[in-house]
Amino acid sequence: MESILLLAHTEADGTLAKPALEALTAAKELGGELTVGLVGRETQAAAGQIAGCGAARILAVTGDAFAQPRYSTDAAAAEALCRAAGTPLVIAPSTSRWARALPGVAYRLGGRVDTHATNLAAQGGAPAVTRWFYRQRMEAVLTRSQRPWVALLDAGCFPAWTGEAGRASVEAVSVEAPQTRTTVTGVQAPPADEQTIRPDAKLLFVAGAGWTKKQADGAVHAAEAETLILGFLRSAKASLGGSKSLVDLSGEGEAVLRFMTHLNQIGQTGATPRHPKGLSACCHGEEPHVVGWRFINQRRAINLDPNCGWARGKADVLYVADAFEVMRQVNSLLA
């Protein structure tokens, strides 16, 4: 197998996060000689974290300029690491940071990039990248003759590497930080338990537009819908998805679930998250929505309509019931 450079950036605490460790597993399973390239303010702790991974070299670009995610500095660091390692293959986790910077780096190096890889495997001795096309409807396995070949690996496709931490020797690669116009003054984010998108959750809970429609009594119960859904998310630690109809309503300022944004949308024009289980409530289960459930292993839905899309082979279990009643009961059981 060709030699491999694994690119990883450190997190705020100086360590490597799960996606980087998953990409490390992928690189190791592929089998070529491994070089690790680290980027961050400090990289010694991260190098120590993966000291037992068997890498032939660990290279690092360090300094204050490389602590913050920013295209210009990330691309400069990655380019320097690729040149110093000189490997034909470059593997990196598809974090927002690398997804933004590495296509430009591949261009600078005269190479090629493939994003959203879901598998890396040897095919007749050569590396091959698996990815989905046409909104996750077709899966292809690609080989390429161009080098360097950069592959951005999606999270959740490989187990995170685990192994002995220790002391690792790191070769510094010096890079003059490019001029930047952006200064990062801080990060504003909601508390972690207010985040509704939780990629690591065991369950995806999808809310559809039915939550905001007139119910049997002729009235809309959006406020109760909010309480039921948020209550369930808190106790089940589930991730929240929405149908397109529901997230579009939010944008129009109608009676809606206020915590629902376009980032929650699941489907053909939304996200295709990976969770072991999914529960849909008040969502019709139309094909453009359900195509986003491709990687949900066990699917259940609650709908008043026994003829809804879920009933047509799209869910493992369909509860023909009023989702307000069901979720009230579920929440009281969880409490």
Binding to ligand FAD by residue 282, rule CB under 6 A? yes
Binding to ligand FAD by residue 308, rule CB under 6 A? yes
Binding to ligand FAD by residue 254, rule CB under 6 A? no
219 versus 333: smaller Cβ distance to ligand FAD? 219
Side-chain-side CA neighbours of residue 64 (13 Å): 3
84 versus 323: smaller Cβ distance to ligand FAD? 323
Q: Which stretch binds ligand FAD (CB under 6 A): 44-52, 106-114, 195-203, 239-247?
A: 239-247
Binding to ligand FAD by residue 35, rule CB under 6 A? no
* Percent helix, strand and coil across the chain, each to the nearest 5: 30, 25, 40
What span, in angstroms and rounded, lies between the C-alpha atoms of 311 and 299? 11
How near is the Cβ of 303 to ligand FAD at its closest, in Å? 4
- Output b/e per residue, 113-139; b: 16+ Cβ within 10 A: bbbbbbbbeeeeeebbbbbbeeebeee
List 8, 27, 296, 302, residue binding ligand FAD (CB under 6 A): 302
Q: Which two tokens stand for residue 284?
A: 């019709």
Binding to ligand FAD by residue 224, rule CB under 6 A? no
What span, in angstroms and rounded, lies between the C-alpha atoms of 290 and 267? 6
How near is the Cβ of 116 to ligand FAD at its closest, in Å? 16
List 48, 127, 148, 208, residue binding ligand FAD (CB under 6 A): 208
Q: Which two tokens stand for residue 309?
A: 């899309």
230 versus 304: smaller Cβ distance to ligand FAD? 304
Q: Which amino acid is residue 125, in one-letter code?
A: G
Contact set for ligand FAD, span 262-281 (CB under 6 A): 265-270
List 68, 245, 274, 294, residue binding ligand FAD (CB under 6 A): 245
**78 Cβ contact partners less than 8 Å away, ≥ 6 residues apart:** 7, 37, 39, 92, 98, 101, 102, 105
49 versus 265: smaller Cβ distance to ligand FAD? 265
How near is the Cβ of 237 to ligand FAD at its closest, in Å? 23
Question: Is-contact 52 181, C-beta < 8 A?
Answer: no
Which residue is listed with tokens 């009023």? 322
Side-chain-side CA neighbours of residue 277 (13 Å): 9
Binding to ligand FAD by residue 324, rule CB under 6 A? yes
Contact residues toward ligand FAD (CB under 6 A) are 208-210, 213, 215, 243-246, 265-270, 282-284, 286, 288-289, 292, 302-305, 308, 322-324
